[in-house]
Structure 1
Amino acid sequence: MKKITIKDVAQEAGVSTATISRVLNNTGYVSEGARRTILETIERLNYRPNAIARSLKQDRSRMVGIVLPDMTNPYFMKLSRSLQKRLRQSGLHGMFMDTYGDPDMELEALNGLMMMRVEAVVLAGTGRNVPAIRKMVRGSGIPFVLVDRKLPGVAADLAAEENEAAAHEAAAELAQRHEAIGILAGPDWISTARERLDGAAAALREAGVALPASYVFAGDLTRESGREGILTFLQLPKPPTAVFSVNNEMTFGLYLGLREAGKALDSIEVASFGDLEFSGLFGHRLSIVEQCPDEVGQAAAELLIRRLAHAEKGEGTESRTFVPTLVRKW
C-alpha cells in the first residue's frame, strides 16, 4: 500500500503543501473553509505526518527520553506513570528505555535518544557510565534530570528520596529486638544502595549490634540475588534472626528463598526499603520503608518542564528530596 504524503493531501484538497503545513503546525493564516477541507482530507486519507521530519524542520521533537534500570520494578512503574502524566499535560511525550541495569545498554539508549533529537532526558543511572554521561550532559545542550539515583559530578537536576536516614530508622528498629541482623545490600556504585547500606550499618553500630562481613550479602537489587542472599545467611553457623533489605525486589527474593529452604515466611523479621504489594497474602514479620515514587516522578517532570520553558541550563542545578516513612505491617 502506497504511503500517503503531504503532496497527496495537498493535491486532494486543492491547496499547496505550504498551506497543509500551516494547518498542521497551527502557524500563519488559513481560511476557516480551507482549514476544514484540509482536516477532512487528512482524516479521509488517514495521513500521518512524519514526526522525525517535522522535528528536524522545527528543531523541536516534544519527546523526552526516559531511561530506567528496571521497568518491571513496581517502584519505577509508579514513578513512570506519574512522570508521563505530568509530561503529557505540558504537551511532551515520553520515550521509555529499559537498560536492565546494564551499563552498555544504558549508553546505547542514551546515544540513540540523542540521535532521535529528544528535548530532554530523565535518567535513573546504572552508576557505571558517569564520565560518559558528564560529557553527554555538557555537550548535548539539552536538560538532564536524574531520578532516584545520584551521579557524582553530573550537572543535572535531581528528584530523589532521602535514603540514609530512612534506612537508619528501619535498622534501628530491628536492633531493638535482635542481636544477629543481616543486610541484603546492593552494588556500591549505585547511590541508593550505598546510602541505604551506610544508614543501616550506622544504626547497628550505634546500637552495639555487631555486623560481621558474613552478615552483609552484596546483591544486585534483583529477586534472584535476594533469594541467594537469604539462602547464604541460612547456611551460616548462626544465621541472622532479622534482615534489612535495601530494595523491594531483593525482599521478594528473600521470601522466595525462605520458601525454598522450607522455612516459615514469618521465621525471620524483615525490614524492607520498599513495599511488597502482595504482602497481605501471607504471614510475615515485615516492616517497610514506604517510598514516594509518584512524588518523585511528578517532581522530575516539573524540573524538566521548568528547564525547557526557561532555558535555565546554566543557572545551577536543583534537587527535590522526599522523605520515606517507616511502616510496620504486622
Structure 2
Amino acid sequence: MSLRLSTVILPYRRWHEGGRQAWTRAEQLGFHTAYTYDHLSWRTFRDGPWFGAVPTLTAAAALTERLRLGTLVTSPNFRHPVTLAKDLITLDDVSGGRITLGIGAGGTGFDATAMGQEPWTPRERADRLAEFVPLLDRLLTEDSVSYQGDYYSAHEARNIPGCVQRPRLPFAVAATGPRGLALAAGYGQAWVTTGDPRLYENGTPEQSVHALRGQAEKLADACAAIGRDVSGVEKILLTGFTPDRGRPLESLDAFVDFAGRHRELGFTELVLHWPIPDSDFAADEKVFEKIATEALAQLD
C-alpha cells in the first residue's frame, strides 16, 4: 500500500520573518500536502504570535504550484458553515483546486471560549458537528442553499461558481467516536486521527498501534453500515500525539520503522509537524528534510 508524507506548518511566525519560507520549502521537499492548524491560539503558543489559517493558506497558495494545502482541523468552535464555505471556495479557486478541509468537533481549548460562550460538552460539540458537516457539504455543492437547523441556518446563501474540485473540495474528518466516524463514512474523502489521547502520557507504542487498529476497524464498520467500501477513504495520522511523540523524527531509520508499522494498519498519509525550536515539536531540521526526501523510498 502506498504511503504519502505531508506536513503541518503552525502559523506562529510573521510571514516576512520566516513564515513564507516554510511553505515554499515544503513544496521543494516533495510533501504531498502542507496543512496548518485552524485555531485562534493553541496551547503553549497562546501568549505568542499566531496568525489566521485562511489568510495564511491563501498566501501559501499564491506561493506554490503543486503542493496541496489544508486545515488540520477546522471546527465549529468559531466557524459558521455559510462564511466558511465562501472562504473555502475562494481558497480552492486561488490554489487552482489544491485545498483539503480537515474538519472535526473541536476541543475545550482556548477557541472554545474565545467568542464568549461557555465551553460545550462533548455531546454538544458532536451535535453541532453533525449539523455543520452536512450543511457545509450542501453549501459547497449547491448554487443556493436555505436551511434552518438547531444550531445553524442559511437563507439563500449563494456560492457560485462553486469549487474548482468537483463536486467539492475533499473533507478529511477527524473522529474517533461513533458519531464522528459516521460523518467520516458519509461525507469524508479522508479520515484523520491523532491516536488515543489516553495513551499519550503513559502508554506504549504497542498499545498505540492496538488502539489505532481498533479505530480503523470502527471506521470500517461505519462505512459498512451505509454500504461504503472503507478502502475508498484515505486514512491520515497526524503524528506527534502518540506515545512515540517526537522519537520517529530522531533519525531516518526511526521514522521508517514508525511509518512501516502504521502503513500496515492501513494509513495512507502521515503528517509531520514542521520543526519548531524550543517546543513540543522541536526536531533536527536536517533529519526532518532527510526523512521528507528519503523515507518513502526505503518503504518501497
Tell me the TM-score normalized by structure 2.
0.28
Tell me the TM-score normalized by structure 1.
0.26
